[in-house]
Structure 1
Amino acid sequence: MSNVGIILEEKAADIGNFLVGRLLPFRQKRHVGPFVFIDHMGPAYLKDYQNLDVGPHPHIGLSTLTYLFEGSIMHRDSLGVEIEIKPGAVNWMTAGKGVVHSERTPEYLRTTDKTLHGLQIWIALPKDKENIEPSFVHVDEEQLPAWSDEKASYKLIAGKLGDRQSGVPVYSPLYFIEIKATTTHTVSLGKDLYGESALYVLEGEIEDGGIAYGTKQLLVAKNASLCEFTIKEGSTIYIFGGEPFPEERFIFWNFVSSDKAVIEKAKEDWKNDRFPTIPNETGKVPLP
């Protein structure tokens, strides 16, 4: 009997001058635990004249998690942070009551051929933290728990799994796990998972209840505590989820809140230039 309750196929979405594969939200599933939005970026093979340029845009009521497999992004924000994110590290930006940031190809890569591939994730904040002061944390790869055996290698990118804790300072019970299989074997994580849970197949294939699932499929579990499946040799997957919030979360553009009135205010604030600005950046992405 399969524990897969919903199967979602990655769908294309345009984020300006860059095409991504959207994993969340879908009509059938608006969120998984506190995870409300996931984009799979690339792999994009950019020529020397092609660059990522997502100009200044705002966020409220969430934390963003950027995790790259290949390439590099220069992050700048209204807190004054300017930092390059590279594969294996985590950029964790908490918007709270409001932050503005841009994401661009670093200057030293703008005239060379390059690759960009990774995940961008939005995690909703608990209701009592939706309006906190914005903050930014860069977590190096060495601060992420990693372990392996003869069957697979594991990395806890965010949250808690069993007695392991990531260095990413999350605000609610959650987990975001990478598994790379060296052999075909059965994975059993049910005793360590909690809340709602989903699995994304980046590369390769898994099998559950006699059914095979492949690349670019997002599988939402019926029951996180029954998480057991066969992963095929050479596959890379991500398991994420956690405790859902009791209140509904509303999303408009880059704004997330349990209160629609807060989103309406954020829309007006952005249109009327009432958000903080980014040092040494001009222009802004218009409200859709």
Structure 2
Amino acid sequence: MSNIGLIIEERSRDIGDFLVGRLIPFRKKRMIGPFIFIDHMGPTTLGPSKYMDVDQHPHMGLSTLTFMLEGEIVHEDSLGTHQRIRPGSVNWMTAGKGVTHTERTPKDLRNGNVFTAHGYQIWVALPKELEEMEPQFHHIDAQDLPKWEDGDTKFRLVAGKGYGKESPVPVHSELFMVEIQNKETYTLNVNGNLKGEIGICIVSGGIEACGETVGEGNILVSKVEDTCNITLKPNTHLLLFGGEPFPEERYIYWNFVSSDQTKLEWAKTAWANKTFPMMENDNTYVPLPS
């Protein structure tokens, strides 16, 4: 019997001029380990009159992980952060009890040139005891992430622990996110190298697993402990992510995550009344969804 429990197909949606593909949450699978939300941004062509401008919006009860494959974004938040993120680096913002931020195309790239923006916006739920922690922001450069090779297959540990290595991204629970790129056919071994639930996100190319052939734009969901052999087709790009699931259910409303639904109601009221922590240098405001 196949132990790939679910294949999730990317569902496209338009956020202004930016097309994203929602991967999770999915009606049959709300979380994979502590990962509760993944949007695939692009690839999309930006410039000379279309840029990425995500106005000031709130988060609570989660950490955001921004990972760009192409293009650059400037992150600013209510902590006073101003950080440019380039391909291969990690922006890790822990919202805790509440933070707001914007994500925009850098000013110096708004010069009439055309370029590609492509990346992933990921939310990781916080453990129950840390849901109301003080907000934090960390940026990790690409060269500081663990990297290794197996033949012509390249690995990068984006966050958490895996394959006997640990990323410097300061995560708050047992999780992993690994980027894999190969040139020739490659058999991937995850048993003993990762712990917890696993999501296999196919950025490009395709894989064969448990008798299934799956192409780009899909996530396979399985348990690491009994995952069958995974064969990467030539020139495939994967993101593996997951970890140990939490014992409690998580509720999600818009950009807020909590193990307590009453906290979601508080966050909705605070954002509607603009008593949420706000940025000092940005007057934009994304209204609460109706």
TM normalised by structure 2 equals 0.97
Aligned to 2:192: 191
Aligned to 2:134: 133
Contact 1:33 1:244 in 2 (8 A): yes
Cα deviation code 1:27-49 (max 9, x no counterpart): 01000000000000000001311
SS of residue matched to 2:102: strand
Aligned to 1:94: 94
Aligned to 1:21: 21
Contact 2:164 2:193 in 1 (8 A): no
The structural deviation recorded for 1:192 is 1.6
CA distance in 2, matches of 1:92, 1:263: 22
Aligned to 1:34: 34
Q: 1:162-173 residue pairs with structure 2 within 5 A? A: 162-173=163-174
Contact 2:47 2:110 in 1 (8 A): no
SS of residue matched to 2:51: coil
% identical aligned pairs: 51
SS of residue matched to 1:273: coil
Contact 2:39 2:120 in 1 (8 A): yes
Specify every segment of 5 or more residues in structure 1 that has no aligned partner in the other structure, as ranges.
Answer: none
Aligned to 2:119: 118
Contact 1:150 1:182 in 2 (8 A): no
CA distance in 1, matches of 2:151, 2:240: 20
The structural deviation recorded for 1:15 is 2.7
SS of residue matched to 2:170: coil
Query: Which deviates further from its counterpart, 56-65 or 110-119?
Result: 110-119
CA distance in 2, matches of 1:179, 1:3: 21
Specify every segment of 5 or more residues in structure 2 that has no aligned partner in the other structure, as ranges.
Answer: none
SS of residue matched to 2:268: helix
| Equivalent residue letter for 1:90 | V
Aligned to 2:268: 267
Aligned-CA RMSD value: 1.1
The structural deviation recorded for 1:110 is 1.7
Q: 1:1-288 residue pairs with structure 2 within 5 A? A: 1-112=1-112, 113-221=114-222, 223-227=223-227, 228-288=229-289
CA distance in 2, matches of 1:106, 1:121: 21
| Equivalent residue letter for 1:122 | W
The structural deviation recorded for 1:201 is 0.7
The structural deviation recorded for 1:181 is 1.1
